[in-house]
Structure formats: C-alpha cells, structure tokens
C-alpha cells in the first residue's frame, strides 16, 4: 500500500538549544495588531486578519532596516494549512503561515523570526510545532537552522486520509497536535512516495482563515 508524502512536521520544546545564527543587523521582531499593515503584508482581507486575531493567534512581523519584511503566526487555539485546521491546547503553540516578502528572501530572516518568536513565547508555552510542504526546501532549511527537530511525516494514504507517520525524535512525535487530531500511522519508508503537487507552490496556497 503506497502513501504519498506531503509534508513534514517539527518541534521545539522549552529548554532546547537555539543554535546561533549568522548575525542579521537591524533585524527586529514585533507582535503586531495593526490590521491594515497585516492585511497589506498578507494579501488577505481585513476580516480574515481580524478573525485570526480574535481566535487566540498572535501575529509577528519581521522588520529589517525598519521595513516590514516577513511575518508568521503563533496559534494557541487552532492552526492550519489551506482549508484544514486542527486544535492546539496548552502547553502547546502552533506556528503557521510564515512568509518572507520575495525581495528579502535568502538573508536569514525566517530562522531569525522563528527564534525571536520562541524567545518571546517560551514563558507562556512549552512545546512549539510547525511544518513545511515536502518540496519546500527554503522552509526546511530555515526551520532546521532555527533549531527545530523533525517529528512526523504527513502522508496521504491510499484511502485519501491524512495521517502522521512518526520519524526522527519519536519520544516527541506522538504529542504532535496535528497527529492527535488526524491520527498516526506506522508506515515503512519503502511504502512512501513523494506527493505530486503539480505546479501549485506554497505562495499559491490560499489560507482559509
């Protein structure tokens, strides 16, 4: 039975290492509730931004040389990708919908933003979870540089169900909120093939809320 590998998930727990990153002078990360600024950065409607903020989500914006250059969300209640959402409960946080604006990519903003969020949030939460699409190497590189550990493969089964397949740090894999919501499966590497996304990129994915 063949499963299609769609994504990978990672975690960082309070007390884990935050590897040192090449310095990024003039970088700063701010919690932002300015709906017009967030609307402009995301290309989403104000209504969708407001709904996220009202749903226990914190928006973080990365600034370089005082210009907004990227963003990401930290969810305490639910997080998602495309139109699929799953619950987040204490002591967890889900990190989701990150982007660096195209003109600023490749300077290390993403791992700096991830680490800045972990530093700010770790007093309130203990376990942080995030993922990337299997073909998104830029995201994978940033997540690993920031200090996250692999915990699960996200696969589409032959019955078209999404399941999480524990990998990497197995002691942590089964605590993944996405897996607790969607279910786990025990699948051997030889039964997994890469999912074919066609020409759909992460930039093309429209988040539902």
Residue 79 CB burial class (10 angstroms; 0-12, 13-18, ≥19) = buried
CB of 142 to ligand COA, least distance (A): 4
User: Can residue 106 be called a binding residue for ligand COA (CB under 6 A)?
Assistant: yes
- Of 35, 107, 126, 156, the residue at the interface with ligand COA (CB under 6 A) is 107
Beta strand 67-75 with 57-64 is antiparallel
Binders in 3-62 for ligand COA, by CB under 6 A: none
Q: Which stretch binds ligand COA (CB under 6 A): 115-123, 135-143, 170-178, 190-198?
A: 135-143
Q: How far is C-alpha 136 from the geometric centre of its chain's CA atoms?
A: 12
Could you say which DSSP state residue 184 is in?
B
Binders in 137-196 for ligand COA, by CB under 6 A: 137-139, 141-142
Q: Is the dihedral of CA 134, 20, 107, 122 positive or negative?
A: positive
Cα(150)–Cα(134) distance, integer angstroms: 12
Could you say which DSSP state residue 205 is in?
P
User: Can residue 64 be called a binding residue for ligand COA (CB under 6 A)?
Assistant: no
CB of 167 to ligand COA, least distance (A): 17
User: Can residue 136 be called a binding residue for ligand COA (CB under 6 A)?
Assistant: yes
| Sites of contact with ligand COA (CB under 6 A) | 70, 98-100, 105-111, 132, 136-139, 141-142, 202-203
């Amino acid at each position: 039975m063949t499963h299609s590998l769609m994504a990978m998930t990672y975690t960082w727990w309070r007390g884990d290492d935050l590897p040192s990153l090449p310095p990024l002078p003039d970088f700063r990360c701010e919690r932002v509730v300015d709906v017009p600024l967030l609307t402009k950065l995301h290309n989403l409607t104000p209504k969708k931004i407001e709904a996220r903020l009202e749903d226990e989500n914190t928006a973080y914006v990365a600034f370089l040389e005082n210009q907004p250059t990227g963003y990401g969300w930290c969810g305490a209640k639910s997080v998602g990708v495309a139109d699929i959402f799953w619950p987040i409960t204490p002591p967890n946080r889900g990190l989701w919908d990150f982007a660096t604006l195209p003109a600023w990519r490749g300077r290390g903003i993403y791992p700096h933003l991830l680490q800045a969020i972990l530093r700010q949030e770790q007093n309130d939460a203990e376990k942080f979870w995030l993922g990337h699409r299997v073909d998104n190497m830029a995201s994978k590189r940033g997540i690993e540089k920031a200090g996250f550990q692999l915990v699960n493969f996200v696969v589409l089964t032959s019955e078209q169900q999404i399941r999480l397949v524990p990998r990497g740090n197995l002691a942590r894999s089964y605590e993944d909120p996405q897996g607790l919501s969607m279910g786990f499966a025990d699948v051997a590497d030889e039964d997994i093939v890469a999912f074919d996304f066609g020409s759909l990129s992460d930039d093309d994915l429209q988040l539902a809320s």
